[in-house]
Structure 1
Amino acid sequence: MFSLDSLSVSHRFLALPNSFYTQVEPTPLDNPRWVAWNQELAGELGFPEVVEDEPALLDVLSGSVSNEHIKPLAMKYAGHQFGIYNPDLGDGRGLLLGEVAGKSGQTFDLHLKGAGQTPYSRMGDGRAVLRSTIREYLCSEAMAGLGIPTTRALAMMVSDTPVYREEVEQGALLVRAADTHIRFGHFEHFFYTGQHEQLRLLADRVIEWYFPDCLDADKPYVSFFAEVVRLTAEMIAHWQAKGFAHGVMNTDNMSILGQTFDYGPFGFMDDYEPGYICNHSDYQGRYAFDNQPSIAMWNLTALAHALSPLIDREDLDHGLETFTPILQTEYSCQMRDKFGLSTKQSEDGDFFNRSFDLMESEKVDYTRFFRALSNIDRTGIAPVVDLFIDRAKAQAWVESYLLRCMLENDSEAERCRKMRSANPKYILRNYLAQQAIELAEKGDFSLVHQLADLLKFPYEEQAEHEEFAKLPPEWGKRMEISCSS
């Protein structure tokens, strides 16, 4: 039987003053049981790869039984939600269990989501429901498969505890692994409450733990902020290139390590739609797909304001000025990879604009388009043209694209091979997640497991799962997801 004694567990955050957190014991659920266990991640962290016969581990990770190695706490933070500052935030339904050193030496936070009420629950019940837990488990692993910086999912559990939302649902739990759970909102809390010594302590520990190279800089705080800007810009470039919309880019959902964090009403675009809104509650479109770069800049500006007691205004402004160039450079690099264009030509800007205008006007599926383009060496141009309503326009565009490709140094076969490693065949479309949820609510988790396995290798041809790469049905497009969980 597995014992937590075999793990290297630490509690660095717990060593900080009490103003950073509240220690809280999880509120157990009725009859918790495994739904999913991430074998790959478990192996890296030193957990057993199979847990069906590990009832003691289930008891500890579900919060049913206490353990000397687990010292749960709820973090205190604040944040701007839809642009409005809210001081009353914190871990309202999740608990940091501790930090585990993986086999590579990297340290991961373990966080139990759905663990019950904390002082920061704000009248909530502190629970997570099955549907939202499935969505986060699947999407965090899908993002990892795509190569997008993200938190991970170690385990998912379901219970017999009823949770009351729009209707009665099953209570569930997610064990999340992340490099850190520290958010922009942690710094905002100490700034707006005037606890500037705590703010400095937080910055010092963040630099020590996650940005040690900054300690050698002339201005460590300035260097730290520059790194946060860079990591955030690179994350957003990944989102935009892969067609991912987060849905709730509040500052309390922004990791200081530039990892995709807190999966709620997210969505991958189906038809190319720059103004795509995936959040049912985003009535103004603040977090629409094409707004994500500007919102990231807004959030970084909010972080800069919170760091102003530590960093001069001129240095903060300079750090913020680097965001757009980094984002544009990284996004341009990724889009060139998607189109298979490694050289730069003077007419490329116009070519890209025409390409996206055509995709938008023709309502072309974003993922299918780029994957079909990647397979021209195998299938010819017909699958690309067939995605368009106006075949003549599509034919003309493909011909112009092939002319542009003639300026490249790679052969067609080599170009397409590289493109297939940049353009996924499989993404977690919202309708697929919804189908998995509906089956799971009936006790059938087979589709959850299928999708979890599939999405670990989104760039590979998986003939046995061809149906998951099809165009979504009309009812499954542009699904808006509620924040309710």
Structure 2
Amino acid sequence: MQTASFTASSESTPSPADPTAGAPLAGRPAWLNRFHSLGPAFSTAWPARALPGPHWVARNEGLARELGLDLDWLASDEALDVFTGNRPWGGNASIATVYSGHQFGMWAGQLGDGRALLLGETRTAAGPMEFQLKGSGPTPYSRMGDGRAVLRSSIREFLASEALHGLGVATTRALCITGSPAPVRREETETAAVVTRVAPSFIRFGHFEHFSHNGLHDELRQLADFVIAHHYPGCADETQPYTALLAAVTARTAALMADWQAIGFCHGVMNTDNMSILGLTLDYGPFQFLDGFDPTHICNHSDHQGRYAYNRQPNVAMWNLYALGQALMPLIGDSDTALAALETYKADFPGLLRRAMGAKLGLPELDADGEIRLLNPLLQLMARERTDYPIFWRRLSEGLPGTPQFEAVRDLFLDRPALDAWAADYTAHVAGRDTAAISAAMLRTNPKYVLRNHLAQTAIEAAENGDFQPTQDLLSVLSSPYDEHPQHDALAGFPPDWASNITISCSS
């Protein structure tokens, strides 16, 4: 799996001599605002709308340290107001960006940051980072919406983004959540919240689609040049830089999909406006980590056709990349070169997924033959029995076939003869190898803790009653999910029966 949620290249990090380099976040940040500099065709300067009675719900001190934020300031009333949208931060000018996109495979036209505001971008130890408020009120792109987020969905996004980061999967990050007693109407009346998100960029496939679809080719080129200069500088040296950009985004997206599938992560709403140009997991709505292994699982209650089912995610990602390729055609010109860049997905993804799944078996070198003989029969057996996905992999890591601990793996299956036959094949495959080393590697690949729906729901219900400690406890565990955390063993158990009744939709 990828080892960092965001990585800044040396070219994208301003040098000390650069007058736009900014200052440490512990003081007043000097905002770079590079996206803002693109001009009014790309965004609209817009203030957040204040919320009454703000209070802290959760703060991510680990991320704050990475960003160079002063922890005392982060706990202050000033920071509370800043991250609720009740006061500006260091003279920044917040903006909402415009984009378009395909939603559930259909062209949706103009969309945009309907409830998100880019506070600004500043230099950090990890490179330039953008800070974005989600839920800070209506913008010019709200399309009759209220621009708000509710406590429920904000906690889910806060925990999920940090859970994926802890798992080593590329993602946006979450710095904090603030809450307010202000009512927000969804299926029922809930309370408002604002989550602060952090990423090198929140540019989406839909940003490119917007300018291409509307025939704004100068702006399309300006956006592509901006992304290349600041995020893919190596593409600038290529003979066909826009084709190279498409190929680079394709490669990152393939890697992201392999990681999602390996950890059993379902995004739930893979519209093109929810696809990051940097290959980050973006926009946590009706996501879910698999409980019982079901390749056809649909986590989004609103996805009536199953377009975004778990086993369809890799193909949907390819479909979205083709939409991006179509958007870039005015710059690329030649369809054959664009197709060649996109076709690398078909070559890269299977190998990336095989490598990720092989690592779960302690066999990162797993070849196509091993996939056929070892991996596929195992997954078919797990699918027939709906075997608990994270618990199986963790138990297998702790007790390989031939050890007494393997009995705990056998206890997960009704068809034990089928499992035993698979175990015999696995044992023959690893014969002569250091099984202790294999097990140790698997424990670093198969997490003990994932953010199951019922864990998030329990934290949400506690928070709705004014108890935010369960959210902080989950954050702590999910930030290092491969560690034991014996005091939190209960969080690694089977889901309760009521978990199957949790429904997650696009409403938030």
- The TM-score by the shorter chain falls in which range? over 0.9
| Structure 1 counterpart of 2:156, one-letter code | R
Residue 196 of structure 2: SS of its match in structure 1?
strand
- Quick one: distance in 1 between partners of 2:287 and 2:75? 34
- Distance between the aligned counterparts of 1:93 and 1:337, measured in 2? 39
Supply the distance in 2 between the matched residues of 1:343 and 1:4 (Cα, whole angstroms).
45
How far the C-alpha of 1:373 sits from its partner, in A, is: 0.8
Map of 1:238 onto structure 2:
259
TM-superposed deviation, 1:7: 2.6
Q: How far off is 1:49 after superposition?
A: 2.2
Q: 2: distance between equivalents of 1:264 and 1:170? A: 17
Give how far 1:262 is off.
Answer: 0.1
Of the three residues 488, 493, 500, the one matched with 1:470 is: 493
The separation in 2 between residues aligned to 1:44 and 1:139, in whole angstroms, is: 18
Q: Tell me the residue number matched to 1:281.
A: 302
Structure 2 residue 281 is the aligned partner of structure 1 residue 255: no
Deviations 1:146-186 (A, max 9, x none): 00000000111011211111111110000000111100000
| Corresponding residue for residue 214 of structure 1 | 235
Q: Tell me the alpha carbon deviations over residues 406-456 of structure 1, each in whole angstroms, 9 at most, x when there is no partner.
A: 1xx631110000011111111000011011111111111121111000001
Please give the per-residue CA displacement for 1:174-207, whole angstroms capped at 9, x wherever unaligned. 0000111100000000011110100000000010
Q: Are 1:56 and 2:81 an aligned pair?
A: no
Measure the CA separation in 2 of the matches of 1:272 and 1:398.
Answer: 19
SS in 2 for 1:60: helix
2:339 aligned with 1:317: yes
Q: Give the SS at the match of 2:489.
A: helix
* Distance in 2 between residues matched to 1:344 and 1:124, nearest whole Å: 49
Secondary structure of 2:503's counterpart equals: coil
**Could you tell me whether the CA contact under 8 Å between 2:355 and 2:365 is conserved in 1?**
no
SS in 2 for 1:10: coil
Alignment of 1:344-423 (within 5 A): 344=366, 346-376=369-399, 380-406=405-431, 410-423=433-446
Q: SS at the partner of 1:31?
A: coil
For structure 1, which segment, 245-254 or 368-377, has the greater mean C-alpha deviation from structure 2 after superposition? 368-377
What displacement does 1:376 show?
1.1
How many angstroms does 1:213 deviate by?
Answer: 1.1
Are the aligned partners of 2:398 and 2:405 in contact in 1 as well (CA < 8 Å)? yes
Task: Write the distance in 2 (CA, Å) between the matches of 1:335 and 1:358.
Answer: 15
Note the C-alpha offset of 1:56.
1.5
Q: What is the identity, as a one-letter code, of the residue corresponding to 1:22?
A: T
Aligned partners of 2:354 and 2:366 also within 8 Å: no
Task: Give the Å deviation of 1:396.
Answer: 2.8
The two structures have a TM-score, normalised by structure 2, of: 0.92
**2: CA distance between counterparts of 1:470 and 1:126?**
37
2:476, 2:106 → 1: CA distance? Answer: 39
Task: Give the Å deviation of 1:342.
Answer: 4.1
CA contact (8 A) 1:132 1:264 kept: yes
Correspondence 1:290 to 2:315: no
- 1:40 touches 1:49 (CA, 8 Å); kept in 2? no
Distance 1:3 1:178, change over 3 A: closer
Letter in 2 for 1:29: L
Displacement of 1:136 in angstroms is: 0.1
Q: Give how far 1:398 is off.
A: 2.2
- Return the match for 1:340 from 362, 367, 371: 362
What percent identity do the matched residue pairs reach? Answer: 46
Gap regions ≥5 residues in structure 2: 1-23
Q: Is it true that 1:100 corresponds to 2:125 in the alignment?
A: no
CA distance in 2, matches of 1:291, 1:343: 25
Offset, 1:86: 1.2
Q: 1:337 to 1:275 in 2, by over 3 A?
A: same
The answer on 1:171 being equivalent to 2:192 is: yes
Q: Secondary structure at the match of 2:99?
A: strand
SS in 1 for 2:357: helix
Residue deviations 1:228-270 (CA, integer Å, cap 9, x gap): 0000000000000000000000000000000000000000111
Give the Cα–Cα distance (whole angstroms) in 1 for the partners of residues 46 and 326 of structure 2. Answer: 31
2:290 matched residue in structure 1: 269
Q: CA RMSD, aligned part only?
A: 1.6
Is the 8 Å Cα contact of residues 30 and 90 (structure 2) preserved in structure 1?
A: no
- Structure-2 change in CA distance of 1:379 and 1:168 (3 Å): farther
Is the Cα–Cα contact under 8 Å of residues 29 and 90 in structure 2 kept in the other structure?
A: no
Match of 2:483 among 446, 451, 460: 460
Aligned amino acid, residue 28 of structure 1: A
> Secondary structure of 2:474's match?
helix
Q: CA deviation at 1:344?
A: 4.5
Structure 1 residue 348 displacement after superposition = 4.0
Shift of 1:379: 5.3
What per-residue deviation string (whole Å, max 9, x for no partner) do you get for residues 270-329 of structure 1? 111000100000000000000001000000000000000001211110011100211111
TM-score of the aligned structures, taking structure 1 as reference length: 0.96
Cα separation, 2, equivalents of 1:255 and 1:446? 32
**Contact 1:34-1:52 at 8 Å conserved across structures:** no
Read off the aligned partner of 2:428 and give its amino acid letter: L
Counterpart position of 1:142: 163
Work out the CA distance in 2 between the residues paired with 1:403 and 1:484.
Answer: 50
Which amino acid is 1:373 matched to?
L
Matching residue within 4, 13, 16 for 2:38: 16
Task: Work out whether residues 241 and 334 of structure 1, in 8 Å CA contact, stay in contact via their aligned partners in 2.
Answer: yes
Determine if the alignment matches structure 1 residue 126 to structure 2 residue 147.
yes
Decide whether the 8 Å contact of 1:187 with 1:199 is kept in 2.
yes
Cα distance change on mapping 1:165 and 1:402 into 2, 3 Å: same
Q: Tell me the SS of whatever aligns to 1:276.
A: coil
Q: Is the 8 A contact 1:253 1:262 kept in 2?
A: yes
Question: In 1, are the aligned partners of 2:28 and 2:90 still within 8 Å (CA)?
Answer: no
**How many residues get paired?**
481
* Residue 397 of structure 1, CA deviation: 2.4
> Where do residues 73-88 of structure 1 align in structure 2 (5 Å cutoff)?
73-88=95-110
Q: CA deviation at 1:67?
A: 4.0
Structure 1: 5+ residue stretches without partners: none
